[in-house]
Chains A and B, each alone.
Chain A
Amino acid sequence: MELSQVAEILEAKVLTGSEHLDRVAHAACGSDMMSDVLAFVKDQGILLTGLVNSQVIRTTLMMDMGCVVFVRGKTPSEEMIALAENIGTVIMSTQLTMYESCGRLYLAGLGR
């Protein structure tokens, strides 16, 4: 699924990396615990999270995940956006909850 489609399904605002929306992700991971992401993520290309700090961006870089979706209308700081921009990570923000965000993407076929 292309990231542009992810943004559409989640009615998300793209905060940085709009030039990379043609990237394709085959699965996603929803977590507020970066320790778990570092331990269990394999080839999920998208991280959905309600946690907002710079370590979220660094964690996705380490895991080669190209996109972060902040749920529940969370907005990252300018510093985080600059960090993401620098390493080419797409950041989106959706008003939806974690549960509904994951549900919508799963129903649309992501990770199935």
Chain B
Amino acid sequence: MEQNEKLSFHFDVDGNDFTSAGEASVKVKKLMRQLGFSPELTRRVSIAMYEGEINMVIHANGGVADVYVDEDCLRVVLADEGPGIADIETAMQEGFSTAPDNIRALGFGAGMGLPNMKNYSDEMKIDSIVGQGTTIELKFKVN
């Protein structure tokens, strides 16, 4: 984790170890508590980021996560160099999943990750190129 001047945080998400997936989100949750964000916002940000982190480990062999604290909003940017999402509209449907059976056995892959990220954030933008990777930006308004 590196902290820059404009209050942003950078995390590397290790794609080789499902056991450690979510470590960055745990850190962000702690940081948000320390920075005095409301429990409700902290919960929404950490759940959405956790889903994103899990997705990167399942589908893209990891990636990077950046959290930017702006004056009126908090942004989480998750970027990977995985296979990309061919049909974003279909991927956004609740229950649609391409996760393999071994991931389902671990309690994930119900096709709720992306819809959940959308539900818990105020704005979600997905940029994906098949064969190159996916970048997801989540925005949360800070009142």
Interface residues of A (CB under 8 A from B): 32-36, 38-39, 51, 53-56, 58-59, 61-64, 79, 87
Contacts and interface: CB of A to CB of B under 8 A. Distances in A.
Interface residues of B, number: 26
B25 A58 contact: yes
A62 B22 CA distance: 10
Interface in B88-125: 106-113, 115-116, 119
Of B19, B20, B109, the most chain A CB neighbours within 10 A belong to: B19
B47 A62 contact: yes
Given A32-B107, A53-B107, A61-B29, A38 B50 contact: yes
A59 to B, nearest CB: 8
B26 interface: yes
A18 to B, nearest CB: 23
A59 B46 CA distance: 10
Of B21, B39, B47, B107, the most chain A CB neighbours within 10 A belong to: B107
A63 B21 contact: no
Interface of A is mostly: helix
B116 A39 contact: yes
A67 B119 CA distance: 25
Given A38-B112, A39-B112, A55 B106 contact: yes
Contacts of A34: 106-108
B80 interface: no
A76 B52 CA distance: 25
Interface in B38-60: 39, 43, 46-47, 50-51, 54
